[in-house]
Structures are given as C-alpha cells and as structure tokens.
Amino acid sequence: MNPIIHLALAEDIGAGDVTTNACVRPETQATGVFLTRESLTLAGTAILTEIYREIHLHHKDGETLPPNTPIATVHGSARQLLEVERTALNFLQRLSGVATLAHAFVERVAHTHCKILDTRKTTPGFRELEKAASAAGGATNHRMGLYDAILIKNNHIAAAGSVSRAIANTRAASKLPIEIEVRTMDELDEALAYQADHLLLDNLSPREAKAWIKRIDGRAKVELSGGITLETVRDYAETGADFVSVGAITHSARAVDISFRLELA
C-alpha cells in the first residue's frame, strides 16, 4: 500500500472506529457505490484499488462524467467499508478536483498549440498523486522535483551574478536543457545570446507577452506564468506561447462532490 494511504487511514481510524464497531455487527456484509454528485473529470481510482479488496471500477481516470454516475462498486464487511469511507472519499474528491480543474484549463486552450503545465505547488507528500491527477485532466507534468529538470529562477540568477553566468555555470555542470526566467528585455536578450533552450516569462500581460514572444522569434521555447486564471488563460495561449504554467491546478483545486452509498449485501 502507498505509504500516504496508510498514513491517511491510520490518522482517521486510529485505535478503531468506535461508532461503527458499536452499532454494526461484525458478520454484516455490504455493498457500496461511489457516485458523482456533479460533473467532473475522474482521478484517483488507483487509490480505491489499494484500499478495497473487492472492487469493480466502472470508469477510468481521465473520463469526464456527468452527475449521478457510478464510479466504482465495492463489496465486503460493512464495518470495513464504513471505516475507510471518509479516507477513500477524501482522496477521490481531492484528486478528481485537480483533474477537473486541469481539464477546464486544457479545454480553454484547445484551439491553440499551447500546452498547460502544472507546477511544484503541490500538497506536501501528495505530489505524485496530484501530478497524476493533473495529467488525467490533460495537463502536461512539468518537473516532478528539483532533481529532474533545470529551471533557473531569479534568485538563482542573483546568486550566480547574472543571466550569462547562470547559464554558463549550468551548461558546464549539466547536459539537461536549460530553462531560465527572464524579467527584463536585457535579460531576455542575454538569455538568447547564450542559447537558453526555454524561457520563462512571469507576470506579463497578454499584450506584453505577445511582444516578447515576437522578439524571441522561435529562438527558444516560451512558457508564461504568474496568476493565470481560467478567465485569462485563452488570451495568454493566443500570444503564441508554447506553454502556460498554472500553479492553481494543484494548489487551489476545489474538491468535487462525490458520495458513497452503502446497502446491505
């Protein structure tokens, strides 16, 4: 079992579910159904298969489902089904919320070549799960951590001394593609002169971003970021950017409404 699932179950059940153990006889068997209460994009079904021994999944991660759609049916001891109910729902609602928000962003830019990226702004300990949910919604995973991609941010540039030094130092130490954040036209020109592979433009308006992208003229991939919302993402994607990164997909997704209905077997 995934350690995060084990921790979540231990956190909720503790020494035992006193309510269920008091009112439900140990031999009672039951069936439970997870049911959508609103339209959503599904994610987190792998969690269910780790929690439940007897389970039938009706749908897969990445499917967009209307309200009142059965997601999965589980069977077993009524006591066991009841004691894990809240934990299972917490995972399923949270991860489907991430997938649903990611899907909404992806839909907004589907008419362009721009891809939606997620970020490292994830719930501590949940990154692998939230990144998988983001991908289920159609977003593209950016780096998983500090270990698998180069991204030189403004504080790295300050520590290195300049854009050119940051790129030169990085190129001498690593063969990974170099992405660098630039905040001024001078930094932009310096990054292009030193052949950065990927430029991060932060906190520009769509109009400003379009002008910067015209100046870049295909010499590097372009990523836009900085408070981009569902209301503004279309305008940013239409600037010609290759990527728009959206931290909100993982740090601000609303848990969707999913219910669990139990009946005696």
Distance CA 211, CA 200 (A): 14
| Catalytic annotation, pick one of 121, 127, 171, 221 | 121
- SS3 of residue 139 by DSSP: coil
Active site residue 210: no
- SS3 of residue 223 by DSSP: strand
| Catalytic annotation, pick one of 115, 127, 143, 153 | 153
Give me the amino acid identity at 144.
M
| Catalytic annotation, pick one of 12, 50, 86, 210 | 86
| Catalytic annotation, pick one of 202, 235, 238, 257 | 202
Q: Which residues contact residue 170 at a Cβ distance below 8 angstroms, ignoring those fewer than 6 apart?
A: 150, 152, 178
Distance CA 195, CA 181 (A): 13
**What string of H, E and C letters represents the secondary structure of 21-65?**
HHHCCCCCEEEEEEEECCCEECCCHHHHHHHCCEEEECCCCCCEE
Distance CA 179, CA 194 (A): 12
Q: Are 209 and 236 in contact (CB under 8 A)?
A: yes
Active site residue 235: no
Helix (H) or strand (E) run with residue 182 in it: strand 178-182
Active site residue 86: yes
130 phi, psi to nearest 5 deg? -70, -35
| Catalytic annotation, pick one of 17, 179, 181, 190 | 181
For tokens 């489902």, the residue is 65
Which residues are annotated as catalytic?
A: 86, 121, 153, 181, 202
